[in-house]
Amino acid sequence: MKATGVVVEYNPFHNGHLHHLTETKKTSEADLVIACMSGHFLQRGEPALVSKWARTKMALAAGVDIVIELPYAFATQHAETFAKGSISLLREIGCESFCFGSEDGGLSAFEKTVELILNNRSAYNASVKNYMKEGLSYPSALSNAFKDLEGSEKLIDLSKPNNILGFHYIEARNNAAPDLKAFTITRESAGYHDEHFASPSIASATSIRKNLFDPEQEESVINRYIPSATHGILEHYKKEFGGYHRWENYWPLLQYKIMSSSPSQLREIYEIEEGIENRMIESSKSAISFEDFMKRVKSKRYTWTRLQRMALHILTNTTKSEMNERHAAPSYIRLLGMNKTGQQYLNKMKKSLELPLVSKLSSADKNDIHLDMKAAEIYSLGLSSNEVKKKLLHQEWSQPPILMG
């Protein structure tokens, strides 16, 4: 059986994701699709709207055949490490190809861009450092350094979020899995960060989440942008757990953690550097919400996303030493769900897998999975009552891989 892979967050699964999934099947001509999906916390440093189990159900209902988890140590990282972890897992589980969405939509431009930077790495890195010394954020420095290298060839726009991820997917593929064939398709209609509904059927996950959290908006508005299965799963989750997850749910915990820590203690946290800990401590004393805190800490040098990731690692008390131990590559494959086709594939493949396939936490190496368990425990604290917190946390320990269809 020929498998292709996709790297996803599905926060939540919407019609744009369905388009990507449909085109992935068509373009790759694979027998099944394997989704490498972020767990409870996401690449932009925020909690997922609903649990990884609910999002696994969305994926399987839409036609994904296997869902595996991208561990916290890779899922909550900058694009390069995020891509390295996800491409590594897709290769380890036997994918022959992978497909990603991009603003560009042409693979040749990605290949040429990766080659250009590879051949000019020293000059590129020096240019990035110079732009950062001028006070630019890391992504802006990367984009400007890249523009300095551009010639007459057709290259990708590295200021676009999905193009940036795509660049790093190709780079990770070239470094660790050169036999893995790549495909890309153009994102439809809505931009990654669009907050408003500008299309009759395709909307960004950002705009969908904004609608769900806006008390003045009717939730039914989003129904034309999501499959009916997603709607049903969202409704069920809200009833079962009392609501959705957002940063504001965790603000009292984050505020306490920052205010009760010394600058030296915060400096031990992953990504905290250059004195930002002092600004965070002062801002936390007067901020009345997470958004207020972020606005007080925000500066030209740090993007909102990078600050969110810092805040997340403070919330989960994830230290530099913990993260640095796990940077090389994922050491296990956490199976979240599958359908009958996926089950058949795994039955044929599991004896040849080099990494352990974790379907029960009792069989996992506790050191390897420590960060994911800690993240799951803290994710449950974002719910409103002790009863539902306990229920969600129990699910992490007791839930076998979801089997659908």
* Residues in binding site for ATP: 7-20, 101, 162, 187
Cα 11 vs. chain centroid, distance in angstroms?
9
| Closest to 322 in 3D by CA, of 251, 271, 278 | 271
- On whether the CB atoms of residues 335 and 358 are closer than 8 A, the answer is yes
Distance CA 228, CA 223 (A): 7
360-367, Cβ contacts within 8 angstroms, sequence gap of 24 or more: 360/400, 361/396, 361/397, 364/332, 364/334, 365/331, 365/332
Report which residue type is found at 176.
A
**Helix or strand or coil: residue 30?**
coil
Backbone angles phi, psi at 336, to 5 degrees: -100, -30
**Helix or strand or coil: residue 399?**
coil
- On whether the CB atoms of residues 379 and 395 are closer than 8 A, the answer is no
Residue 293: Cβ within 10 Å count: 23
Residue 300: Cβ within 10 Å count: 10
Distances (CA, A) of 295 to 228, 284, 303: 36, 11, 11
Distance CA 94, CA 68 (A): 12
Residue 166: Cβ within 10 Å count: 28
| Closest to 172 in 3D by CA, of 76, 100, 270 | 100
Binding-site sequence positions: 7-20, 101, 162, 187
| Residue found by looking up tokens 């939540």 in the block | 12
- Length of the chain measured in residues: 405
Distance CA 202, CA 22 (A): 14
Distance CA 36, CA 68 (A): 5
